[in-house]
Structure 1
Amino acid sequence: MRQDLRRQDLKRQAPGRQDLKPARLSPRDILRVGAVGLRARRTRVVLSALGIAIGIATMVAVVGLSESSRADLMARLDRLGTNLLTAEAGEDATGRPVQLPRSAVAMVERIGPVRHATATADVEARIRRSDLVPEERTAGVTTQAARTDLLSTLGGEVARGTWLTPAGEHLPTTVLGAVAADRLGITRTGETIMMNETRVVVVGILRPIELVPTLDRVALVGFPAAERYFGFDGHPTTIFERSTDASVEDVRAVLARTISPGNAGSVKVSRPSDALAAKAATDKGLTTLMLGLGAVALLVGGVGVANTMVISVLERRQEIGLRRSLGATRNAVRLQFLTESLLLSALGGASGALLGAAATYGFARAQGWTAVVPPWSLAGGLAATLLIGVVAGLYPAIRASRLHPTVALNAT
């Protein structure tokens, strides 16, 4: 009779037991539990997060510096203009050098969209610092004849002295390019140099000309002076022209035929700004390489996080066993260690993003660039760290959740 009553009592209690459910951790509780594990091992956390920080800082800095450099280059292109074309004398079908007609500039000016046209020409004149220097020692400086409108067409500037004037282009005076002045040891105007056996006065020194850097290494004299003192025949070597931006390609298509109607193939037409644009493309390839190195650093940081989490699981088996004995579910344990891994990676990612942005701003400012840190690089860096955190913490979290409470409590 008593046994029957006891069975009935157990049956009445059974439904109540089936209604018992383990408590669920709120997101706030999960963050607090995950943060406790990090605070207890601060030195290890800092060293592990450092690997992530280095990888993210490298990637953000590489992208930021590349974008800053490219923005500076594009600003220079806008300032210098992309509507400058050059036409140079080439070779005929037999391989012999050809001469551009003396009237080439006037012919180019007849093209409707052309706004400015000018020319330079090679001159056979050996340059020496003084008559005491042997003629064969030219210091790597050549002579070219130039028209008075050359500087305005190219957008060049005079660093010291003056440019060739309508009166000065008839006289034995010269304007030196920036590199030519340095090679000859000329630091101020009024000094003289030797061109063949003629003493020539330096009236100006140019700033570097970015679109036509070859002019930095020459000494420029006027066309009339070149004909009078150095036997120049008056045929230009290079024609420079500027047209409207919208008509650059149209002018490019007819420029060679206009300069040399019967032998257009002997005229080489180019756009100097294409070289700067090619530089931007080269910088982009280098950026891809550096991003790859940053990704390797990030991968190494992720391995460090995974290693830290695995060691943490091994060291905290008794803690895991105690929590499981007190009612923590396997899912709660998994979330705890996965949250620790995410917080550790996020700490390294945020620090790395700040370091990368600071490095970009500092270097860009030192170079005189406008600092550019694309928002997508910061967002992408943080997203990458979270992904690393999930991947690095997944195995340790699963391993921790599979520990049996009895085995974990007996671990030493």
Structure 2
Amino acid sequence: MTHAVLPSPESAETRLPDPSRSRSGDLAKAGLSGLRARPLRAGLSALGIAIGIAAMVSVLGISAVSRAGLLAQINRLGTNLLTAAPGQTMFGDNATLPVESVAMTSRIAGVRSASAVGTVPHATARRTDKIDPEETGGIAVSAARLDLLSTLDGSARSGAYLNSATSRYPSVVLGAVAAERLGIDRAGQRVYIAGRWFTVVGVLNSLRLAPEIDRSALIGWDMAAKLGFDGHPTTVYERSTDAAVSSVHDLLAATVDPEHPDQVEVSRPSDALTAQLAAKSAFNALFLGLGAVALLVGGVGVANIMVISVLERRQEIGLRRALGATRRQIRLQFLTESVSLSLLGGVAGVLLGVTTALVYAMHRGWPLVLPAEAIAGGVAAAVVVGAAAGLYPARRAARLTPTQALATS
């Protein structure tokens, strides 16, 4: 009698087919199928990621554009302009600069030009003579030397600057802000100063290194003397060679006022522009923090959507498990979907942030400088957030057994 020989468990196990292995292309298709099936939900979920990435990229982009534009402006205006102004005496009173301050400054080695302005006391510029000066303030009036505009590298927007002829007569040159406040946009109009009418012979363009000039009405040194000006300058401006800036800075106070150098305040106007970079950096940190919060909120939204997606697709998960899909494949499918969703938002956010920086640069007339690390970092941040947001839903989907998933109605 012949008996059938049953295969041993070990030999039967060796003949079982290998577990199915999905290729990366198959995983990508399976992961993206969930996004294509629910495009509106996917778009709204990616919106939070896009807003966070756009905020961060635009802040870094605008910061880079502003820095490049400001540095270009500083280089164009020059860092070789120094100013000397009176400080305070040891008793707390306002100090004064000697009348010879400008002449003494010109003798310093390396100084190319020196000029000054002086405040004319009790004089303001007004558009009309019908208002009592004690009721409202007016535009400050300053005596100006003839070489002031060349020392500041300024220019006239309308008319011309003071010359040896107009400086002796009731003629005035208005700074950019002063002209705007007085409603004057061209030469030839008149303003009321210290009880008499002055003819506007020029309107200046804005002087970034001397904003006090923008807000002033400038009259000739000789004309100012007729209004009670005592000849003591209130600000001395000097231009030196780039190599001599440090040495001139060290000597300027003692040269301007040899008797009381401690009462002279020396500054470099370009330092104020450079300080704006530090101020912008402080605000950038704040805005980057807000962008990070928006990105975090977007990540929470993606995680929430993925959890809902797992609950809605339990039968799909059970069917795939029954057909041989492994836990790892299910986990990778949902991770791929989560990362793809965040990556979609990240790319949209980067494009929006770059566009914002481009519009800002074109509006300000500054060069477009975009930090590559900001763009790459935005995309990388989206991928990381997507992976972190999809990790729990993917593990939850992978833990479902075929019977549990298919039993769900």
Question: In which range does the TM-score fall when normalised by the shorter chain?
Answer: over 0.9
Tell whether the 8 Å contact from 2:124 to 2:137 is kept in structure 1 after alignment: no
Work out which of the residue numbers 91, 95, 120 in structure 1 matches 2:92: 95
2:195 to 187, 194, 197: 197
CA distance in 2, matches of 1:118, 1:215: 13
Task: Find the counterpart in structure 2 of residue 237 from structure 1.
Answer: 234
Aligned to 1:6, what secondary structure does the other structure show?
Answer: coil
Q: CA deviation at 1:231?
A: 3.0
Residue 80 (1) aligns with residue 77 (2): yes
Q: Establish whether residue 164 from structure 1 lines up as the match of residue 168 from structure 2.
A: no
SS at match of 2:379: helix
Identity %, equivalent residues: 53
* 2:324 corresponds to: 327
Q: In structure 2, the residue corresponding to 1:118 is in which secondary structure?
A: strand
Aligned 8 A contact 2:126 2:138 in 1 = no
Correspondence for 1:140 among 122, 138, 141: 138
Alignment of 1:307-318 (within 5 A): 307-318=304-315
Check if 1:271 corresponds to 2:288.
no
Structure-1 separation of matches of 2:49 and 2:70? 32
**Change in CA separation of 1:199 and 1:323 when aligned onto 2, cut-off 3 Å:** closer
List runs of 5+ in structure 1 lacking aligned partners.
Answer: none
Counterparts of 1:367 and 1:61, CA distance in 2: 15
Q: Deviations over 1:210-253 (max 9, x none)?
A: 111111222111212222x2232222121101112233222111
What is the aligned partner in structure 2 of residue 212 from structure 1?
210
The answer to whether the 8 A contact 1:128-1:137 is kept is no
| Helix, strand or coil at the partner of 1:334 | helix
Counterpart residue number, 1:398: 395
Code of the residue aligned with 1:211 in structure 2: it is: L
**Is 1:367–2:364 an aligned residue pair?**
yes
Contact kept? 2:124, 2:138, Cα under 8 Å: no
Indicate the larger mover: 184-193 or 203-212.
184-193
Looking at structure 1, the residues matched to 9 and 265 of structure 2 have their Cα atoms a distance apart, in angstroms, of: 102
Moved more, 190-199 or 283-292: 190-199
- Residues 167-207 of structure 1 show CA distances to partners (whole Å, capped at 9, x for unaligned) of 22222211111222233333332233333234322211112
Aligned-CA RMSD value: 2.0
Query: 2-side partners of 1:263 and 1:99: how far apart?
Result: 10
Query: Which secondary structure does the structure 2 equivalent of 1:379 belong to?
Result: helix
Match of 1:351 among 308, 331, 348: 348
What is the aligned partner in structure 1 of residue 54 from structure 2?
A: 57
**Would you say the 8 A contact 2:139–2:178 is kept in 1?**
yes
CA deviation vs aligned residue, 1:226-283 (integer Å, no higher than 9, x gap):
22x2232222121101112233222111110111112111111111112211222111
More displaced 10-residue stretch of structure 1: 354-363 or 249-258: 354-363
Of the three residues 3, 22, 25, the one matched with 2:22 is: 25
Could you tell me which runs of 5 or more consecutive residues in structure 2 were left unpaired when the two chains were aligned. Answer: none
Letter of the 2:23 counterpart:
S
- 1:273-331 deviation line (CA, Å, top 9, x unaligned): 12211222111111111111111111111111111111111111111111111111111
Cα deviation for residue 11 of structure 1 reads 6.2
Aligned pairs, number: 408
In structure 2, distance between residues paired with 1:53 and 1:190: 55
* Shift in Å, 1:136: 3.1
Out of 321-330 and 358-367, give the one that drifted further: 358-367
Please give the alpha-carbon distance, in whole angstroms, between the structure 2 residues aligned to 1:207 and 1:11.
Answer: 95
- Name the structure 2 match of 1:261: 258
Name the CA distance, whole Å, in 1 between partners of 2:304 and 2:348.
20
Aligned: 1:155 with 2:164: no
Matched-pair contact (CA < 8 Å) for 1:120–1:238: yes
